[in-house]
Amino acid sequence: MSGALKEVRNRIKSVQSTQQITKAMKMVSAAKLRRAQDAITQMRPYAQKLQEMLSNIVSNGDGDVNMALAAERPVENVMIIVVTSDRGLCGGYNSNLIKLAKQVIAEKYPDQAAKGKVQILPIGKKGYENFTKGGFKVVNQYWDIFTGLSFDKVQTAAKHAMDAFANKDVDAVELIYSEFKNAATQRFVAEQFLPVSKVAKTEGQKNADFIFEPDKNILIAELMPKILNTQLFKATLDANASEHGARMTAMDKASDNANELLKSLKISYNRARQAAITTELTEIVSGAAALQG
């Protein structure tokens, strides 16, 4: 029986050690989440207004305006930008993003995928590893952007996608990321990055009236890439906050599960201990009775 007691004691110590780790990781993620949440909260209204303005400009653009990044053409080659995390232990966060990306490919671009004309631009180590192992054509220069996340780093990835579209190497670019809602909730999003989408007009709606200074062509050529850079940066900030929120929630649940397991193990330990004591008492009583006999 002593062997069984020792085994249960060892399991209790192991679970307690694991629980200390999960509690520490939850605290670290909570601290990082506050900073990441502040960053995306400040960025989101600015990015949304820029996106609205860009869509309006594209919708109201005249035929003589050069809008290479808004050109719609038959889709033969596709690029999917997938924003995951570098590290795991954040529940189903990464697996849900990868699943969504594969779902978009299967439902929206099955013919292109069958011809090998879908390429993945992963941001984040987990997505890079998964799609590389899965045999996809992968752009491997930008997966480590979260190591020292900055606008300049994100801008290089956005420029790669824009150059590929402008040069007609790809005809559509999709963006897959997690939109941060709160620490416990993330919304997994698939949206069109290129060509720039137009605003759907309702009947009787007037065109937005913009005054362009300097020339419209010059301004749009400068403005459009900058706004797209901002959109991708917003997506990475969303993803960064979502990752920390998902990890904090996962570690909190892991700590709760450890508590439940500890309760069960302590009950098992007490039962085994009582059984051992009962056995020892029975042996003592039996020995005493034998001596008296």
Q: Is the pLDDT of residue 62 over 70?
A: no
107 classed as catalytic? no
Q: How far is CA 141 from CA 95, 158, 234, in A?
A: 22, 12, 20
Work out the end-to-end distance of the chain between its first and last CA atoms, rounded to an integer number of angstroms. Answer: 29
Residue 86: burial class (beta carbons within 10 Å; 0-12, 13-18, 19+)? middle
pTM score of the predicted model = 0.85
Q: Is the pLDDT of residue 64 over 50?
A: no
Superfamily of domain 21-251: ATP synthase, F1 complex, gamma subunit (3.40.1380.10)
β 118-123/185-194 pair status: unpaired
Q: Is the pLDDT of residue 202 over 50?
A: no
Query: pLDDT at position 56, please?
Result: 76
Q: What is the CA radius of gyration of the chain?
A: 29
| Active-site residue, from 57, 90, 227, 258 | 90
pLDDT, average across residues 21-45: 94
pLDDT, tens digit, 9 for 90 and up, residues 273-288: 888 788 888 888 887 7
pLDDT, average across residues 24-33: 94
Rounded Cα distance, 254 and 29, in Å: 14
Averaged pLDDT score across all residues of the chain: 88
pLDDT, tens digit, 9 for 90 and up, residues 167-182: 999 999 999 999 999 9
